[in-house]
């Protein structure tokens, strides 16, 4: 586990209702540099507000870098991107889906390697990290907004977030140069390095935190290992809220071992059917998890999109990483891991409120009441997901 960095101040933000006003405020206040990464950037009300704010920042001389995923934000290049580029916003696409290529063999390993992080840094001083995309839920669904979290960060750990974002921006810039070497000029060093005028992060509070990323180089398992280390050391209580929960053998074993030694383990999982394949595959695990004493609660008030956890009232994490093969084995992800009683207590209180008002606990009688067709669908979905991961080659490598 990466060492915690002391001296930070954190503000927990629940759903887009708290996140977007804070994000827009920092865009408006930025003086030197804005860096933003997101998986989805929709051309809806929120997307237009963020795009307009980024344009306004670029026009007043702020260096604005926006990096989006080529699949999650596939429409951006034909929507908001031309206007933003005209304003001076520099936009790069991570693994763009081009033409007919997007329909060819969607299960190839490189096609599933997505930029799933949701990060922003303003003047190297304030950062945001979490699971909230640039999308207005009120325009895309009829139920309440997605239940999700982000964290506003001040302090020394902002430097780590900035460095991680600059690194990926540089990789994408040079990849694009290689793909279009006859037409694309070499990126300027000012595009690849932090602004000299940006403020250096200083001690802002008393919270210890660490940025933990997942990539396909040196940090392939860092997020998973951070979870496993915390689970192995858990003594009293584990509360995990995760939108797409399909852990591998090691993770399930760590949960089971914690429960067997008397730790209260609760999983808050997706109750609404957003992606049927993952939804039913997750339900295939319910019986074996419940047999070892793990409590399962489904969130049904809206779509659950959170990727958070609290352990023993002091360890917490908020980020973009689901506990499924696509996040833990394929995508670029970023989580903030926190060691702080006050922050963990606030996050746990928020999760407890969600379980009390918008959730249903799954009991053994609910599993027994499921039809033969529903049970078969779950097992079939679980088998399909395992097969997809096998096609990528990761399943075989993990068994060595």
Give the span between the Cα atoms of 63 and 295, in whole angstroms.
48
Q: Of 125, 132, 124, 137, which is closest to residue 150 (Cα–Cα)?
A: 132
Give the span between the Cα atoms of 229 and 234, in whole angstroms.
9
Strands 63-69, 237-242: parallel, antiparallel or unpaired by DSSP?
unpaired
Q: In the chain, which segments carry CATH 3.30.870.10?
A: 8-192, 208-398
Residue positions annotated with a catalytic role: 116, 118, 123, 305, 307, 312
Can you tell me which residue has the tokens 């034909």? Answer: 78
Q: Does domain 208-398 have CATH number 3.30.413.10?
A: no
* Per-residue pLDDT tens listing for the chain (400 residues): 679 999 999 999 999 999 999 999 999 999 999 999 999 999 999 999 999 999 999 999 999 999 999 999 999 988 899 999 999 999 999 998 765 444 454 445 455 789 999 999 999 999 999 999 999 987 666 678 899 999 999 999 999 999 999 999 999 998 877 655 444 444 443 444 444 344 556 899 999 999 999 998 889 999 999 999 999 999 999 999 999 999 999 999 999 999 999 999 999 999 998 888 888 999 999 999 999 999 999 999 999 999 999 999 999 999 999 999 888 888 999 999 999 999 999 999 999 999 999 899 999 988 888 888 888 889 898 888 878 776 655 544 443 3
Q: Of 100, 43, 102, 93, which is closest to residue 69 (Cα–Cα)?
A: 93
CA trace torsion 39, 43, 48, 54 (10° rounding): 40
For residue 341, the surrounding DSSP H or E stretch is: helix 341-358
Q: Is 103 exposed, middle or buried (0-12, 13-18, 19+ CB in 10 A)?
A: exposed
Q: Of 239, 213, 233, 235, which is closest to residue 336 (Cα–Cα)?
A: 213
Strands 295-299, 359-362: parallel, antiparallel or unpaired by DSSP?
antiparallel
For residue 336, the surrounding DSSP H or E stretch is: strand 333-339
Q: Of 236, 235, 229, 291, which is closest to residue 254 (Cα–Cα)?
A: 229
For residue 295, the surrounding DSSP H or E stretch is: strand 295-299
The pLDDT value given to residue 125: 96
Looking only at Cα atoms, what is the longest distance across the chain? Answer: 65
Q: Of 65, 37, 35, 75, which is closest to residue 319 (Cα–Cα)?
A: 37
The pLDDT value given to residue 217: 85
Give the span between the Cα atoms of 312 and 307, in whole angstroms.
17
Residue 334 near residue 131, CB atoms below 8 Å: no
For residue 112, the surrounding DSSP H or E stretch is: helix 109-112
The pLDDT value given to residue 198: 46
Q: What is the DSSP string of 71-115?
A: TTTTTGGGTTHHHHHHHT-EEEEES---GGGGGS-TTSHHHH--B
The CB-side HSE value for 88 (13 A sphere, CA atoms) comes to: 14
The pLDDT value given to residue 391: 62
Backbone angles phi, psi at 313, to 5 degrees: 70, 10
Can you tell me which residue has the tokens 């860096």? Answer: 35
Q: What does the block give as tokens for 339? A: 């060691």
The pLDDT value given to residue 325: 84
The pLDDT value given to residue 113: 86
CATH number given to 8-192: 3.30.870.10
The pLDDT value given to residue 400: 35
Q: What does the block give as tokens for 377? A: 């669908």
Spacing of C-alpha 390 from chain mean position = 23
Q: What does the block give as tokens for 98? A: 């081009």
Q: Which residues lie closer than 8 Å to 69 by C-beta, 6 or more apart?
A: 38, 39, 40, 93, 94, 95, 114, 115, 116
Strands 207-214, 149-154: parallel, antiparallel or unpaired by DSSP?
unpaired
The pLDDT value given to residue 103: 44
């Amino acid at each position: 586990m990466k060492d915690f960095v002391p001296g930070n101040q954190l503000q927990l933000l629940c759903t887009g209702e708290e996140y977007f006003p804070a994000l827009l405020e920092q865009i408006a206040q930025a003086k030197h540099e804005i860096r933003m990464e997101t998986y989805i950037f929709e051309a809806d009300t929120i997307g237009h507000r963020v795009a307009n704010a980024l344009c306004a920042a670029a026009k007043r001389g702020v260096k604005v870098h926006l990096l989006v995923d080529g699949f999650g934000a596939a429409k951006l290049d034909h929507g908001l991107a031309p206007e933003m580029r005209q304003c001076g916003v520099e936009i790069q696409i991570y693994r763009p889906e081009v033409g007919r290529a997007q329909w060819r063999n969607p299960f190839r390993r490189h096609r599933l390697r997505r930029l799933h992080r949701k990060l922003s840094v303003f003047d190297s001083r304030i950062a945001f990290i979490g699971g909230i995309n640039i999308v207005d839920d009120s325009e895309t669904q009829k139920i309440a907004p997605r239940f999700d979290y982000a964290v506003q960060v001040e302090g020394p750990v902002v430097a780590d977030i900035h460095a991680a974002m600059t690194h990926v921006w540089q990789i994408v810039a040079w990849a694009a140069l290689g793909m279009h070497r006859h037409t694309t000029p070499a990126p300027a060093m000012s595009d690849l390095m932090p602004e000299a005028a940006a403020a250096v992060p200083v001690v802002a509070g008393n919270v210890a935190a660490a940025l933990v990323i997942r990539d396909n180089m040196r940090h392939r398992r860092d997020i998973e290992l951070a979870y496993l280390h915390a689970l192995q050391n858990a003594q009293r209580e584990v509360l995990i809220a995760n939108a797409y929960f399909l852990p591998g053998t090691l993770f399930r074993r760590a949960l089971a071992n914690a429960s067997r030694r008397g730790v209260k383990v609760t999983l808050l999982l997706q109750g609404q059917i957003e992606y049927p394949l993952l939804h039913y595959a997750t339900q295939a695990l319910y019986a074996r998890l419940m047999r070892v004493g793990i409590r399962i609660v489904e969130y049904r008030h809206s779509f659950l999109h959170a990727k958070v956890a609290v352990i023993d009232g002091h360890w917490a994490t908020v980020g973009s990483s689901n506990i499924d093969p696509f996040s833990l084995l394929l995508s670029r992800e970023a989580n903030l891991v926190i060691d702080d009683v006050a922050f963990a207590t606030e996050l746990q209180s928020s999760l407890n409120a969600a379980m009390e008002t918008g959730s249903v606990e799954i009991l053994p009688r609910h599993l027994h009441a499921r039809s033969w067709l529903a049970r078969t669908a779950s097992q079939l979905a679980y088998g399909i997901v395992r097969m997809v991961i096998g096609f990528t080659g990761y399943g075989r490598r993990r068994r060595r």
